[in-house]
Structure 1
């Protein structure tokens, strides 16, 4: 008797081990979004809230700020079409001496804080990297200030360490040596407030960049040091100059870029250190402090404030691109 061979129905997804066919043009968008067999579902479950938050709290305000910069928007974030002024807000901000002075203040702050933080973070990383015991403890100790709030640290610096009366720690130490008391935050000649600002930012951020340098130091192949020792290189300055420092080039570029961008965004330490019940003094106003008073001051000129914010963002982008090109970031090594 001839055997009757029954054909099995083909599986929906094709043979075993074969991927299901991609979604065709006629499939609904939800199937394309979720992927075959809903493989992308969990990706959207975990990343969806962050994408929504980033869009609502970052991209939408950025776009709205650019839109406001083309309008005469005073005391409102929804100006009428008749209030369109084009590039007048940008021209007014570039002619504003207070805004240009704030850019000069940023330049001075950058000139102080970038090299000081770079040198201190690198020195701390070199010292911690050479430790043979308790390395994790000292790494945590130096990194701990990064978790401190800028506002809290500014109040400690202002009320306790650099208080302008004899009860401040700095004036107490000066009194031990017979020196006169210093009004650290209200003296403009000499401008002692720069010492307060720079030391505060150094304490807050040096630990973070130390960790970056530590990661770079741990990637340096030990064979390079062994070869240098065989060639007669002295441990110390020669080893650091010809081996360690060149190997930290990529880390150094990243650190400098981050430092410059963070200097552009300085606000908390300036505002909380220098402002008082009378307001903010006319000196040492970084761009964000000036824009804060422009957009949220008495006039509440949100159009001009938005134009200044766009100018500042463009300056950050240009500075970042110029530095990246200068340091050859992303360039293939031949």
Structure 2
């Protein structure tokens, strides 16, 4: 009996042990299944440590100097903020700043200036960069040299390039390079940056931007050209395709579709952000002329000019950002960016 009782007691103890173990594991399982935030970020055995070591400083800088100012600008746009970046004490105007900007003829005119600048610079840069890429890609020697030569202006500052264009090439006096060349043919001197009829200042603005950015987009087209399999050209030659325009039209250009879409999107976005060349070419001691004011130049004078209406300037910046976002999405959908090739 004792033994049996002992055995029964032991059996009972064993049953209790077997019953309690799953309960204990079930109670611990959720905790073990949900590791702490630090463990999830660092990964197993801290494999993600180097990832955060390299990406972390960039992510912190991006948040502090990009996303926080953007969010603060949106918040500030709802206040009548003059001479301050803090809306404390300022009057809340809601969408009043947005209505004022959308009804401002000067702001709408700056958007028209952007459209005109885009109509000039986007096709000109596209054609020039594609032509340079085709020529460099056909070279059998010194290809790296010419690729570097055409890409080198990309490293030049927009401010420096604008000053060179203004003071050395198109400075409007007979000692300028452009007027010197015109003088060889007996033409009169031209005040390039102050002549509005015809608007010669567009020639100066477009050429300096063209010189600065054509090399960058040439590299993108070169990358696209080098991804085209040579077997396609061999098959086209066997089928009787003539080299030159026919091969380019029916083979090379369609293969560059994805690159072309990316180039056009980047060109339009960069045109929206035009500021340095306009400001440094056209402004002087008297200020900025009333013509050729892109949106960023207009917002610069609105937010940092005489009135320093930062609330109104923030509303204009938000409107401009929304226009860029909508234009980018529309272009991406129109060109089928991200669509799977059939």
Task: Show the counterpart of 1:6.
Answer: none
Deviation at 1:203, TM superposition (A): 0.2
Deviation at 1:181, TM superposition (A): 0.1
Say whether the 8 Å CA contact 2:81–2:90 is kept in structure 1: no
Deviation at 1:34, TM superposition (A): 2.1
Say whether the 8 Å CA contact 1:162–1:184 is kept in structure 2: yes
2:111 aligned with 1:103, yes or no?
A: yes
Say whether the 8 Å CA contact 1:161–1:170 is kept in structure 2: yes
2:100 aligned with 1:92, yes or no?
A: yes
2:166 aligned with 1:158, yes or no?
A: yes
2:271 aligned with 1:263, yes or no?
A: yes
2:81 aligned with 1:73, yes or no?
A: yes
Whole-Å separation in 1 of the counterparts to 2:49 and 2:227: 37
Q: Deviation per CA, 1:265-293, whole angstroms, max 9, x where unpaired?
A: 00000000000000000000000000000
Task: Show the counterpart of 1:139.
Answer: 147
Whole-Å separation in 2 of the counterparts to 1:59 and 1:172: 49
Q: Which one has the bigger helix percentage?
A: 2
Change (3 A) 1:265 1:82: closer
Q: Count the aligned residue pairs.
A: 314
Task: Show the counterpart of 1:294.
Answer: 302
Q: Deviation per CA, 1:18-63, whole angstroms, max 9, x where unpaired?
A: xxx9983665432333222222222211111111100110010000
Q: Deviation per CA, 1:271-328, whole angstroms, max 9, x where unpaired?
A: 0000000000000000000000000001000001000000000000011011111111
Say whether the 8 Å CA contact 1:264–1:316 is kept in structure 2: yes
Instruction: Structure 1: state its 5+ residue gaps.
Output: 1-20
Q: How does 1:149-188 map to 2 (within 5 A)?
A: 149-188=157-196
Change (3 A) 1:200 1:22: farther
Deviation at 1:250, TM superposition (A): 0.4
Whole-Å separation in 2 of the counterparts to 1:256 and 1:333: 19
Say whether the 8 Å CA contact 1:70–1:87 is kept in structure 2: yes
Q: Deviation per CA, 1:60-101, whole angstroms, max 9, x where unpaired?
A: 000000000111111111113661110000000000010000
Q: How does 1:1-334 map to 2 (within 5 A)?
A: 24=32, 27-80=35-88, 83-334=91-342
Q: Deviation per CA, 1:87-122, whole angstroms, max 9, x where unpaired?
A: 000000000010000000000000000000000000
> Could you tell me the TM-score, scaled by structure 2's length?
0.89
Q: Deviation per CA, 1:214-241, whole angstroms, max 9, x where unpaired?
A: 0001011111111111111111000000
Say whether the 8 Å CA contact 1:23–1:31 is kept in structure 2: no
Say whether the 8 Å CA contact 1:23–1:32 is kept in structure 2: no
> Could you tell me the TM-score, scaled by structure 1's length?
0.92
Say whether the 8 Å CA contact 1:22–1:36 is kept in structure 2: no
Task: Show the counterpart of 2:15.
Answer: none
Say whether the 8 Å CA contact 1:23–1:36 is kept in structure 2: no
Whole-Å separation in 1 of the counterparts to 2:234 and 2:39: 58
